[in-house]
Chains A and B, each alone.
Chain A
Amino acid sequence: MDNTNQGPAALDDLKVVELPMLDAMPFFAASMAGKTMAELGAEVIKIEPPRIGAQDRRFGPCGQSGPASETRALHLFLDCNKLSVTLDIQQQRGHELLMRILEGADVLFNPNPPALCERLGLGWRTLCDRFPRLVVVSTTFFGTASRYRDFRGGDLVATQMSGVGYETPFNQVVDPPNNPPLKAAERQADYMTGYTAAAAAMVAVEGRKRSGKGQHIDVSQWLAMVSTIRINVGELSHDSPRAGMHRRLFVRRKTNAGWIYPCRDGYITFRSSPGNFWDGAVRMLGNPEWAKEPIFATETERLKNSDALDAMLTGWFMEYTKEEIFQRAQAQGVPCFPVYDVREVAENRQYQARDFFQQCDHPVAGHFKMPGAPYRMGRTPAAVRRPAPRLGEHNAMILGERLGISRAELGTLQAQGVI
């Protein structure tokens, strides 16, 4: 077993409870928020519906070395370092046990729709009244106070309603009627919401040191995604002439800001109107005669003649591999990276030198690697302290040892489907 990293941890004095999403719409914001705190040492108890488990065990790809519920990629990744307690919080007895677990908690992440929470006695006002030191974080599609609070959303809906979909693919829309606005790969809106929720929870934990009180934090997936297009909003509200640039129908050749170009063995990212980087770009290209022509002499001219420029650039890129272009560009201080596929990401020398992918040993899923934390903390590094838990693995520890429920009663609860 390699899961022994027990160095100092930033959050090992915090206890976090994460509720499962009870709606059928996949939504992993609370799970990402919990993961972000668990990898820094917080104790995160993930409450899961008995038998079926949380959504992390039910969506996306799975490994082949055991039942799908124990080998799903999302579960192995998002639930790493967490504890699993099964509890049917829609039953009276399950609700009571949840209340007892919350007595010792610092932070609660709750992804459930506001109306359902009210029905289950889990509305934030109820919880804040009962647990004055608890930080209650609602991560919902539209926010608990929004006129849209009862509408369903999720990753795709939030992406399209936030303006991110409108700009994706970024300056590459070539045939608008046949190029629908696009979402980013996987579940970016969920994860963005999760990071936002974790950051906000830390704000309230900090505030509690001064006030002694917890509070409610309302995190809306829609608003979290809108916050990523804030510069568009700023341009619009300042009547900037650039505000019109954020128009899907300005296709790549008109905006002069292509970012992705084909090369001999794939693609690279490169800005076709490189501004201050033009001189370096010309050196990268080997000082070709065409680059000295008057139509490329100034940034204004280059923007005006971007079709011709694009053609010359692409012709050059097609002669070289992405690694060659990357090296040559960086040698001249020009921003240009390769576009890596999954294998190249997994095997690239930069990530390997930094040990970005962490080894995990799981009793069912076996040995595998997974992406590390989004930052390296010098003194309190994020770590794999324990692999993702098996469903209900910590029922005895939390319900039995900590809450003092007898083994006989645990048996009864299991028979009743409460745990």
Chain B
Amino acid sequence: MNELPLAGVRIADFGWIFAVPHTTSWLGALGADVIRIESPKRPDLVRFLGATDGTPGINRSGLFHSINFSKRSIALDLTTRGGAEVARRLVARSDIVFENFGAGVMTRFGLNYDNLRAVKPDIIMMSGTPLGQTGPLAGAIGYGPNSLGFSGISHLTGYPGGEPCGIGGTWPDFVVGVVMVMGALAALHYRDRTGEGQYIDLSIAEMVTGMLPEAMMDFFLNGREHGRIGNRDPDLAPHGAFPAAGDDRWLAIVTVSDAEFASLCEVLGAPAMASEARFGTMAARLENVDALEREIGALTRQFDRDQLVALLRARGLAAGPMYNTAEIMADPAMVESGMNVELDHKEVGRRLIPTLPVTFSGFKPNYYGGPAIGEHTEEVLTGLLGYSSEEIARLRIEGGVL
């Protein structure tokens, strides 16, 4: 059964930090041969974040391993002629190239789309930058959370009356990851049919703005400018995070009808609340949402979080606990989901790695632990690219291969 869907596809991965490494781990797990190009002279800074057991080292980052499974690593210095030439020979044997350096960096290496198309006419190349490859701000430097500010989502995220906010999980980097999978596979599908490759330019800020259709369209249709509404919903109330007993314990509750609100009131031991004029209809609850949230919060505070979630779910209501990372990992449904898989790593041993959030009935993805830096340099240069050991030795002396 286990024919992997991307077997035979090769990826030259010039990515770093979060977004592209996540993209290529997806593709590697699905059978693509992903070869990540790294430089120990200018390593991915993620290799130094979150050291295993607190012991520093370039191959010891748990953070790196969690987004770099199922791929190989070669070490090149792309600022040298020899290193860039090895990279071009790799691209000549590849189907898709990914990179997320600042705009213009691949050109400096002689590795922009036109250069690469010269060595592989049907190559697909995808770049991810904060603001895109063209326009007056193409070269702007920023991390994912900077792009959030530019996109409008920070302005729209936050407590009513509060300041604009950043979003957890280094949003939007891992959204970019799957969006890049989508775009690259669409291009691969087109190439399979026509023999034509292409260049794909992803602007992270644009992607995030494209996830704000209500605010953007309301502005364009009606000239209305949205602000911050916290956890609320314009059409539904209650729709929020409410406190439970204990320190910093919260649960999400959403009701979509008057009947569901009545069920909620019953569970909370305040059935009369459902027939109060100020809360009796959805329109009234939206009108009096401050009071509504205050009253519900005073009641939920009396309950244990998980017990209340169970009671609400038993009544068919939408509810869920606010989890921190440790609680997520301990949730029985998470354990059973198989999303977190123990993988072996050369230096740090067997560790739990979060893999794809998706299950395929037709195959099992191929998960293996992340590479040490340059772990596969020899094997890729000799086995795949046809370099002799003498040539590799010379490239090492010249500094192109590290």
Contacts and interface: CB of A to CB of B under 8 A. Distances in A.
Interface string B47-64: 001111110000011111
A335 B333 CA distance: 39
A4 interface: no
Interface residues of B, number: 160
Contact of B179 (A238, A337, A342, A374): A374
B401 interface: no
A73 B158 CA distance: 22
Contact of B217 (A59, A76, A163, A234): A76
Nearest to B63: A231
Interface string B247-278: 01011101011000000000000000000000
A340 B156 CA distance: 10
Nearest to B196: A379
Nearest to A135: B362
B132 to A, nearest CB: 6
Interface string A142-160: 1101111001111011111
A297 to B, nearest CB: 21
Interface stretch (B84-92, B229-237, B283-291, B388-396): B229-237
Contacts of B51: 238, 240-242
B220 A377 contact: no
Contact of A186 (B196, B205, B215, B257): B215
Interface in B301-317: 313, 316-317
A267 B163 CA distance: 9
A235 B62 contact: yes
Interface in A250-306: 259-260, 262, 267-269, 271
Question: Across chains A and B, which 6 residue pairs bring their CB atoms closest together, nearest first?
Answer: A234-B66, A238-B62, A167-B168, A207-B5, A170-B166, A215-B362
Interface in A204-237: 204-211, 213-220, 223-224, 226-237
B187 interface: yes
Contact of A233 (B213, B233, B328, B359): B328
A145 B360 CA distance: 12
B54 A239 contact: yes
B352 A246 contact: no
A348 B137 CA distance: 10
B165 interface: yes
A59 B235 contact: yes
Given A142-B333, A199-B182, A337-B146, A160 B214 contact: no
B183 interface: yes
A109 interface: no
Nearest to B325: A232
Contacts of A235: 50, 62-63, 66
A236 B202 CA distance: 31
A58 to B, nearest CB: 8
A356 B132 CA distance: 11
B163 A157 contact: no
A230 B177 CA distance: 12
A247 interface: yes
A61 B243 CA distance: 30
Given A147-B333, A163-B323, A375-B183, A203 B30 contact: yes
Contacts of A217: 358-361
B209 interface: yes
Contacts of A64: 221-222
Contacts of B323: 160-163, 166
Contacts of B113: 378
A87 interface: no
A229 B322 contact: no
A238 B348 contact: yes
B138 to A, nearest CB: 8
B149 A337 contact: yes
Interface string B5-38: 1110000000000100010001000100000000
Interface string A162-187: 11111111111000110111111110
A204 B6 CA distance: 9
Nearest to A170: B166
Contact of A354 (B134, B165, B196, B357): B134
Contacts of A146: 333, 336-337
B186 interface: yes
B70 to A, nearest CB: 13
Given A199-B179, A234-B353, A354-B203, 8 more contacts: A160-B320, A169-B157, A237-B329, A335-B142, A345-B216, A356-B209, A375-B179, A376-B202
Contacts of A368: 217, 220-221
Interface stretch (A190-198, A397-405, A411-419): A190-198
